Every structure is written in structure tokens, then in C-alpha cells.
Structure 1
Amino acid sequence: MTDQKTMKAVVFRGPFQIEVENKPIPTITEPDQIIVKVLYSGLCGSDMHTYRGNVAPGPVGTTVGHEMIGIVSEIGSKITNFKLGDKVIANFSIQCGECFYCKYGYTGQCIKTNTFGKKGLDGCQAEYVLVPYAENVLKKIPNNQQVDGSVYLLMADIFTTGYYGVKKILDFFKIEQAQGYPIQEFKDISICQIGAGPVGLCGLRILKHFGFKKIVVIDSIPSRLEEADKLGAYKTINFETQPNELKNFINTELKGLGFDAILEVVGAPSALRTAYDAVRSNGFISSLGMGHGQLPFNALELYLKNINLSVGRCHAWALFNESMEIFEQLKNTFDGFIDYKTSIDNAKEAFKLFDEHKVNKVVFDFTK
């Protein structure tokens, strides 16, 4: 453990107000805790909900951020799976590993869960981070990286979250297929993906990995749509410059029925309404976006269209190992994905650039 007493951290001071401040380095208070010295910390799209004031964070002064890679710096007395110096990825949420939800794979609903950077749990955009229930939060980084090590930061949240959304689609249509649904192969399923930010671009890679072909990606940021094209989207639509294109596609290529499934990666009411309008009757909406408004449809609309809707936070810890297996196969496709790597001292500028969609993925580099 370092002899220094304070560290730099990015803290929330109000909507559109984040500051880099000196805070005390955390100390272990429970035997199942670990202190991690951060190497890389990410800025996630869901951080923008806090930044913009749409979602309440912890109290003013809370350290923000929930993505990090680091080195085990101090361990509690009950820790057996880690040693000092281990390089680790932190899951974006904490979970006890013992409750009903943890035992049955619903770790996002652990009775003791919290997300780094929320009330009662300081976040990861800091030089040091306290990790409760550490053996149910941290994973060792594979030794055979063969890529820039910072790319594993995607496994802290966004890659597994993208996998979660795709897995729900797969699971739904496996049931449909078993009941005689007239689709022989998953590649024949039509999917509309709403949102092509970092999580969305992970989701698109995973959809392609599983063989889906007819994937239409919707966004308003040209650079994101260009990347989706490169990754093999069947079609991309800019909803601002092509307001009628989605409806035209449904009428011409889907015989007016709508998409079999929607992967919604935004969470805004407008995105959810688009999902509802675009999905066919009896279709499936897999929503990953952090909802922060009223639902833009009512119970009768859902009833009349027989919509299958799944929303909620990713059970990332339960899915970590299987999503890591896929990530290991796809990690080389992420070259250049992290396009803005900077010091924590530039946090205010980084948040602003990300909020303005001028950069794709921001990473704070503590290695220099």
C-alpha cells in the first residue's frame, strides 16, 4: 500500500459539474474488501445520465465512474482468491454472492448490490478504489492479452451488457423455435438496434458473432453509424436526417409487419417508443438503456400488440465468464475503439467531449 494519504478523484458537484479533487485514500474496514490501485478507468454512457442530472447519483462529492482495471494494492483477511499485485477487472456492480438472486444468476438484483459511483459506494474514476465483497466483484485479467491491456476495460460493463441484451434475444427465440416458430436459423431474424454508442457497438459485434444478418442500426451520430456499417450492419439509419427511412424499410423489406426483435440501447422515452413502433406484434424488445423517464406507451398498447418487453440492469457478474469467452474471440476487433485516452486531470474536458458526442470511448489513464 502506498504511503500517500490522498488521491485524485473525479467527483460530482451537480448537473454538468464534475471536479477533480483530492480525497483520502480509502482503507479496508471489512475482511472481504480489497483496495485496487487503478490503471485505467472508463467513462460510460450511463455516467451521462448523472452528469446531465437525469439520474440521481450519490451525495454531492461522490466519486463517479464504474469501470476500472487495476492492481490489487491491499487485501482483507478473508480474501483467498487474490494476492497483492494481481491485475484485475472490476465488475461495475457489487454483489454478495450468497443471497437468493446471486445463487440463481440474477446478480444485478443482489439484496446488497450497489453500483460504483452511486449512493454509499464511491466510484472508479480515482487513483484508488475500495471494493466490497471483492471476490464477487473482481476478476483476474488473462495473461495472454495480445492487445492493448486497456481494452479489457470494456469487460467492466459495456461488453457484458451488450452480451446480456443479445442473450435475451437468443433465449426468447430459442423458446419460440421450440414452439414451432417458422424461423429455421437465427440469422433469419430481423433485428432493429436503437443506439450505436459504445454499448451498442459491442452489441452489434455480438449479434454478428452469433450469425444474425438483418440488423438495422439507428442513431443520429454519423461516426457511430459509419462504424456500424464497417462492422456489417445490414443497414444504418440516421433518424435525424432520414426520419421516414425506418418506416419505409418496415413497409418494403418486412412486409409491413415490423422487426422480430429490438435491441434498445438508449433508455430515453423516444427510443423506447421507436422500439414499440418498430417491433412486430408478438415480437421481443430487449432494452438495455437506463430508463430515465415515463414509459411512452401504456398497458393497453402493450396488450393489444402482445409485446414481449424485457428491461433492467445487466446481471453482469453472473454472465461475466461466458461473455469473457466471446470477448476473447472478438477483442482484436476493438483496435481504436478507445479513441480518447487522457489523464484524470482532464476529466472536465473529457466529460464535455463525450457529452457532445465528439469522442466514442473515454478512458482515464493512470499509468503515466
Structure 2
Amino acid sequence: MKAAVWHGRHDVRVDEVPDPGIEEPTDAVIRVTSSGLCGSDLHLYEVLAPFMTPGDILGHEPMGVVEEVGSAVTGLKPGDRVVVPFQISCGSCFMCDRGLQTQCETTQVRDQGAGAALFGYTKLYGAVPGAQAEYLRVPQAQYGPLKVPDDVPEDRFLFLSDVLPTAWQAVEYADVPDGGTLAVLGLGPIGDMACRIALHHGVRQVIGIDLVPERLERARARGVHTLDLRETDDVAAEVRQLTEGRGADSVIDAVGMEAHGDRTGQLMQNAAAVLPTAAAEKVAGSVGVDRLAALHSAIDMVRRGGTISLSGVYGGMVDPLPMLTLFDKQVQLRMGQANVRHWTPDILPLLTEHDPLGVDHFATHHVPLTEAADAYEMFQRKDDGAVKVVFRP
């Protein structure tokens, strides 16, 4: 089969690789019909390269048709159309029972001190072959995949794999009070969708912050008050002006470790990336530093007693945080990978009859899998208005 394969930093190629098969009774194999390109994939393309191995298959946002199931999978059959969550969880352990599927005790990658295994996401999360491919082996298929109707547009349910539950959890964790204001840093796929969800929830004022014109325009068209980072030296001051001088009640950081405007973090990330593999992994895994510009902005613009919700991925081990400010402002901080199956019951009703969140037209680009290398470069550079790219194998 063809698959998007990591060969090195900024080096993704479409290779012929062996077809997957059933390895455990709880496995399924699906024929992938759509697979998203996620901002988290760009971390592998850039900063997290030390944890990758040449030959790793990328991708963690799949939808497809079941080809084969293991003997312990009774809820699926060949021909079923399914969307597959990005994390691999069993649905029956201590953590899954508490709605913490990203901490699943059955698939935890204990030798790395990590939570549940993820598709296509480095040795830190199990080195499970990813979904930007023609076929995908799905472990824990007795629980993970969600059957979806055959007679709806392909993109309607695709984003249940990651974008929708990640944005939904970000808004839930933000805990915006009635009549309050939510500021969203970063209007990529997660930030954009978080704005849509917040408005759907009835949040009075949603402020979207970015520096890419097309992303700002997308958010503005849906009723978001946008702030352009290219036009201000102090975005936190502008947020305070919009909130009676207090700051936003809640802030979502949907940017993460590769924020613009942090030269020190960028230099350290780049330095680790050019070291020999073993040395780079040791440096990144023990003294890695993120670009913290977005998080520092969130801390600055949130009001006293407010909440910061982190959905942007951070991977640093010695990130310096302004603990005095966080403590003095009584800031609540919530974060983590989205617990997909915990949130899908809330999201599904919004997808089955109409499309209030605009998922049918959320993707900006649909491209053949064979164009994966160019798509990664386009998405990294934010060229051609790329906000969300979907591969069609």
C-alpha cells in the first residue's frame, strides 16, 4: 500500500509499505477513505523529529471502511463505515471508566512514561503505524471505532477523530462563565473549531487571535471578534480593552510549542533537531524547551481568577513558567490530549441532522495521498490559505 512516511526533518515521502493485517483478536483493518493532516503532525515534521524513526507512517485522523475484524471484535463487520479516534483506548479500564481515554491503562506506553498509545505519533506514544495510508490496522477495535451513516458527506464525521473532540474539550475546560468572554490564541483547525463551538454554546464574546489573514477572515465570518497580531504590539492590552480592563474570563491556547515570537525557544528546538539522533532524543526528552510566547500571552490576557485551557501541544521538560503571576492571579490551568470517546455523545447530535459547526466545509484542501510531501510543506508555511488539509487515498 501507499503511505506518508517520515524520513527526516522536513522530509515526508509517499512510499510503498506492507499492507497491515490482524495481529490481535481485538484488531480491525480499515480501508482509509479520508485522513486529516493535523497541526500535531507538523510537530513531527519539525520539533519532535528526535523521537521519530525513518520509516514511521504518519497520521492520526482516519475515516474509512472496515475490511477485516479480529475474533474479539463483535460490534463491527466488513463494510461498516467508521471514524477512528486518534488515541487507542480499551473502554473498560480504570481510566477509560472515568472518561480519561488518553490515559488508558491498557495501552499506556509505560516504558516512555506516556499515556495511551496514539496512531502515527513517535516512539513516545507507542510508534503505532499511522493513518495517512491506504489501509490502517486499528487496535482495540472492540471500542475505538465509531460506526457512522453511509449517506452523509465524507467530512461530516471525519473530524470526530480529533478536531471536534479536541476543540470541544478545550471549550469545556475553559469553563467560560455565563455572559463571559473567551479569547482563543491561534485560529488553526483547533482554534477555529473552538470558536465555533463556543459560539454554539452561547458564549457572549469570542475573541480570536492570529496573524494569518485567511484564518482571521474565516473566524470573522462566523461572528468571532478577531485581533490581528501583525497590527498590535500588545494583544493582551487589546483584550483588556474589550473586557472592561479585566482580561478574558477564559483563554484557550491552541498554538502550543511552535509559537511565533519566541526566538530563544526556536533556537533551542532547532539546535536539538540537528544533533545526532541519540543525542537529540536525550536533549529533547530531558531539557527540551518550548516556544512559550502563546502561553505567556494567555497568562497575560486572562483575568484574575480566570481559566486557561491548553489544547496546543507542549513537549518541553524544563519550560520556565511565571509561577508568581499564575499564583497571584489565581489562574486555573487545564490541559491534555482530548478524551475522544468521552465527548462524542455530546457532539454526535450536531452531526446527524444539520451542520451548525460547518464541518462539511471546514477543510480548505482535499488532496490525493500521493501529494503528501507538498501538502506538509504547504501546511507548514500556511500557504494558499491552508487551514485544514484532508488526504483522500
Task: Note whether the superposition's TM-score is higher than 0.5.
Answer: yes
Amino acid at match of 1:289: G
Q: Which residue of 1 aligns with 2:161?
A: 156
2 CA distance for matches of 1:300 and 1:246?
A: 18
Contact 2:239/2:301, CA 8 A, preserved across alignment: no
2 CA distance for matches of 1:296 and 1:271?
A: 13
Task: Note the alpha carbon deviations across 1:7-63, whole angstroms, 9 max, x for none.
Answer: 001111111011111111011111110001111111011101111133655422110
Q: Which residue of 1 aligns with 2:379?
A: 354
1 CA distance for matches of 2:249 and 2:355?
A: 26
Q: Which residue of 2 aligns with 1:254?
A: 243
Deviates more, 1:318-327 or 1:90-99: 318-327
Contact 2:256/2:312, CA 8 A, preserved across alignment: yes
Q: 1:280 aligns with which of 278, 285, 303?
A: 303
Q: 2:100 aligns with which of 106, 118, 137?
A: 106
Cα 1:313–1:332 change in 2 (3 A) is closer
Amino acid at match of 1:347: A
Q: Is 2:56 the counterpart of 1:62?
A: yes
Q: 2:342 aligns with which of 314, 318, 326?
A: 318
Amino acid at match of 2:119: F
Q: CA deviation at 1:337?
A: 2.1
Q: Is 2:255 the counterpart of 1:266?
A: yes
2 CA distance for matches of 1:280 and 1:55?
A: 36
Q: Is 2:79 the counterpart of 1:78?
A: no
Q: Is 2:163 the counterpart of 1:195?
A: no
1 CA distance for matches of 2:331 and 2:350?
A: 29
Q: For structure 1, which runs of at least 5 residues remain unmatched after alignment?
A: 1-6, 174-185
Listed as ranges, the matches of 1:114-153 within 5 Å are 114-118=117-121, 119=123, 120-143=127-150, 145=152, 148-153=153-158
Give the TM-score normalised by structure 2.
Answer: 0.83
Amino acid at match of 2:154: G
Deviates more, 1:74-83 or 1:240-249: 240-249
Q: Is 2:44 the counterpart of 1:44?
A: no
The DSSP-based 3-state class of the residue aligned with 1:226 is: helix
Task: Note the alpha carbon deviations across 1:267-311, whole angstroms, 9 max, x for none.
Answer: 131111110000011110011000134545232222111110011
Q: 1:343 aligns with which of 360, 368, 383?
A: 368
Q: Is 2:249 the counterpart of 1:237?
A: no
Q: 1:18 aligns with which of 9, 12, 15?
A: 12
Amino acid at match of 1:317: R
Amino acid at match of 1:73: E
Give the TM-score normalised by structure 1.
Answer: 0.88
2 CA distance for matches of 1:64 and 1:48?
A: 10
Q: For structure 2, which runs of at least 5 residues remain unmatched after alignment?
A: 108-115, 258-291
1 CA distance for matches of 2:96 and 2:332?
A: 25
Q: CA deviation at 1:107?
A: 0.7
Q: CA deviation at 1:245?
A: 4.7
The DSSP-based 3-state class of the residue aligned with 2:251 is: strand
Task: Note the alpha carbon deviations across 1:145-200, whole angstroms, 9 max, x for none.
Answer: 2xx21332111100111001111233x74xxxxxxxxxxxx2x1011111111111
Contact 1:341/1:364, CA 8 A, preserved across alignment: yes
Amino acid at match of 1:152: F
Contact 2:82/2:145, CA 8 A, preserved across alignment: yes
2 CA distance for matches of 1:152 and 1:248?
A: 37
Listed as ranges, the matches of 1:89-100 within 5 Å are 89-100=83-94
Contact 1:94/1:136, CA 8 A, preserved across alignment: no
Deviates more, 1:70-79 or 1:113-122: 113-122
The DSSP-based 3-state class of the residue aligned with 1:330 is: coil
2 CA distance for matches of 1:151 and 1:124?
A: 18
Task: Note the alpha carbon deviations across 1:109-136, whole angstroms, 9 max, x for none.
Answer: 1121211002330000011100000122
The DSSP-based 3-state class of the residue aligned with 2:23 is: coil
Cα 1:248–1:149 change in 2 (3 A) is closer
Q: Which residue of 2 aligns with 1:183?
A: none
2 CA distance for matches of 1:338 and 1:248?
A: 30
Give the count of matched residue pairs. 342
Q: 1:33 aligns with which of 27, 31, 40?
A: 27
Cα 1:316–1:84 change in 2 (3 A) is same
Amino acid at match of 1:169: A
Amino acid at match of 1:283: G
Amino acid at match of 2:252: L
Identity level (%): 32
Task: Note the alpha carbon deviations across 1:80-119, whole angstroms, 9 max, x for none.
Answer: 1011100100001100222210111111111212110023
Q: Which residue of 2 aligns with 1:177?
A: none
Q: Is 2:225 the counterpart of 1:220?
A: no
Cα 1:161–1:197 change in 2 (3 A) is same
2 CA distance for matches of 1:114 and 1:239?
A: 36
Q: Which residue of 1 aligns with 2:265?
A: none
1 CA distance for matches of 2:51 and 2:41?
A: 9
Q: Which residue of 2 aligns with 1:4?
A: none
2 CA distance for matches of 1:210 and 1:220?
A: 26
